[in-house]
Amino acid sequence: MAGFTETVWNPSRPEILYQDMTGVFPEYRNKGLGRWLKAAMIDKVLRERPEVKFIRTENADSNAAMLKINHELGFKPYISNPIWQIPLEKVEAYLAERKELYAD
Ligand SMILES: CC(C)(COP(=O)(O)OP(=O)(O)OC[C@H]1O[C@@H](n2cnc3c(N)ncnc32)[C@H](O)[C@@H]1OP(=O)(O)O)[C@@H](O)C(=O)NCCC(=O)NCCS
């Protein structure tokens, strides 16, 4: 196995297909497999699910390889979802400064 892709489809919303995870093992990357997997899946969906009108997927801004594939396939930004992150030490320092408020 070199890679995979998967889609999720809910018959109660038949017009929308969700393109979920795609992965190619590191030793097989940058040979066109990720692009081929997603294109082959879209081809299969067009043949087997004619009711699908939209395909949705998610892409981290930092994932240049998948961004390239998605742009080339014609995906366009639709909804953005910022994810915030904080190092645990900062949370611990914050709580330590306010011990009286957060003590058990
Ligand atoms: C994303 C992933 C599936 C791509 O698979 P792949 O088989 O390497 O994809 P392809 O070879 O078809 O295409 C990748 C393209 O991105 C380009 N690319 C790779 N890294 C890049 C970078 N850092 N910056 C710009 N372009 C980059 C490659 O050159 C290639 O383009 P090209 O064919 O025009 O040269 C693979 O990197 C992977 O499994 N990543 C981890 C899992 C993941 O992040 N999945 C996506 C979220 S669902």
Range of the domain at 59: 3-102
Which residue lies with its CA nearest to atom 27 of ligand 1?
A: 65
> The CATH number of the domain where 62 resides is what?
3.40.630.30
pLDDT digits (tens, 9 = 90+) for 46-103: 999 999 999 999 999 999 999 999 999 999 999 999 999 999 999 999 999 998 887 7
Of 6, 24, 70, the one to substitute when testing ligand 1's pocket (max ligand atoms within 8 A of C-beta) is 24
What DSSP string describes 45-67? HHHH-TT--EEE----TT-HHHH
Residues lining ligand 1, judged by CB closer than 6 Å? 21-24, 29-35, 63-66, 68-69
Among residues 66, 29, 91, the alpha carbon closest in space to that of 3 is found at: 29
Global pTM? 0.88
Nearest CA to ligand 1 atom 48: 21
Q: How many angstroms separate the CA atoms of 97 and 92, rounded?
A: 9
Residue 68 Cα, ligand 1 centroid: separation in angstroms?
A: 7
| Alpha-carbon gap, residue 67 to 65, rounded angstroms | 6
Domains contained in the chain, number: 1
Tell me the H-state helices in the chain.
33-48, 64-73, 88-97, 99-102
